[in-house]
A = this chain, B = another copy of it.
Amino acid sequence: MRVGIVGAGLQGRRRAPVLRDFLDTELVVISAAHPESAKRLADSMGCEAAVGWEPVVERDDVDAIVVCTPPHLHAVISIAAMRRGKHVLCEKPLARTLDEAQAMLAAARQSGVTLKCGFNHRHHPGIQQAQQWFDSGVIGEPIFIRCHYGIGGRPGYEKEWRADPLIVAGGQLMEQGIHAVDLCRWFLGDFAQVTCLVGTHFWKTEPQEDNAFVLFRTPGGAVASIHSSLTQWKNLFSFELYGRDGYIAVEGLGGSYGTERAVLARRDFAAPFGEEVIEFRGSDCSWHEEWKEFVAAVREDREPLGSGYDGLEALRLVYAAYEAAQDRHVVTL
């Protein structure tokens, strides 16, 4: 598979080196709005550089595109690429609006290509372990998830594009919290209701929130409680899933989030508290695993884990949470 990357920012720099792990993947070109950014990254990766996204999308010798731009460009680039028959791995959030996201899915369908949303968290080893345990039925029917995901920002954050409402689709819940939303939906299925409180407490990013507290409920009654924060002064990722017969927890994501651990315990009213604990001390392999899944889905002509549809649904859930926060009622989905 011959690949072009659009975007040489944080995500482009993170995703590009991963492609070198794969013998069946060849990184052909990296483009960015700024020629220097593109050239610097392309040089270190030993591939071509380009300016703007059009030259990448228009190349005939490219099979797939990785879209690592800010959100406002996701749809236009992805759709142009898919119309030219290219498979697309697009960063989260999949698009800025539901209309854009739906247009992306339509383009993928019409062109018969694979569209994947960059939900790399599904590929973290702790989450994979959790899913495996959950699927085995060991904790039984799910009761609730608590998921806290937050960082502390950095000086000048309000001047970054992440704080620009013309570029992004929302605040912290949309930018980082959407991973938590996607994970909760992956484990619990579709939700029926949502209530939410948002606030802009510390960072001058209004109207984008720096904190969102969201409560989702499935038709069957299981609850997902998500806190997405940009004032979490010590980086935190915590995902706890309680079922009738036990619980599963994932803590940390490696790196600045601390060692990644997965925990399994069975309900037992008589015995002392017992847990099975697995520590994943290596470096973050989620980007590698995500690429592997993308390539496999293309090859097998199937929907990838974290598909375009998953990207659309996560977007829908975040917008529903925003609506609940604004209208101060429980929104039915």
Residue of B nearest to A141 (CB): B201
Out of B153, B201, B265, B282, which one reaches A221, CB within 8 Å?
Answer: B201
Q: Does A255 contact B (CB under 8 A)?
A: yes
Alpha-carbon separation in the docked complex, A285 to B221 (Å): 39
**Residues from chain B with Cβ under 8 Å of A276 in the complex:** 274-277
**Residues from chain B with Cβ under 8 Å of A280 in the complex:** 272
**Residues from chain B with Cβ under 8 Å of A328 in the complex:** 193, 195, 329-330
Q: Does A215 contact B (CB under 8 A)?
A: yes
Q: Mark A260-293, 1 if CB is under 8 A from B, else 0.
A: 0000011111011111111111110000000000
Which bracket fits the contact residues of A? 35 or more
Residue of B nearest to A197 (CB): B215
Residue of B nearest to A233 (CB): B267
Alpha-carbon separation in the docked complex, A155 to B267 (Å): 12
**How near does chain B come to A315, taking the closest CB pair, in angstroms?**
22
Q: Is the CB of A223 within 8 A of B211?
A: yes
- In the complex, identify which listed stretch (A73-81, A167-175, A242-250, A294-302) lies at the interface while the others stay far away: A242-250
Q: Does A161 contact B (CB under 8 A)?
A: no
- In the complex, identify which listed stretch (A55-63, A143-151, A303-311) lies at the interface while the others stay far away: A143-151
Q: Which residues of A contact B (CB under 8 A)?
A: 125, 143-144, 146, 148, 152-155, 193, 195-197, 199, 201-202, 211, 213, 215, 217, 221-223, 225, 227, 229, 231-235, 242, 244, 246-247, 255-259, 265-269, 271-283, 328-330
Residue of B nearest to A266 (CB): B233
Out of B213, B274, B329, which one reaches A215, CB within 8 Å?
Answer: B213
Residue of B nearest to A283 (CB): B255
Q: Is the CB of B277 within 8 A of A277?
A: yes
Q: Is the CB of B223 within 8 A of A225?
A: no
Out of B193, B242, B272, which one reaches A125, CB within 8 Å?
Answer: B272
Out of B215, B235, B255, B267, which one reaches A152, CB within 8 Å?
Answer: B267
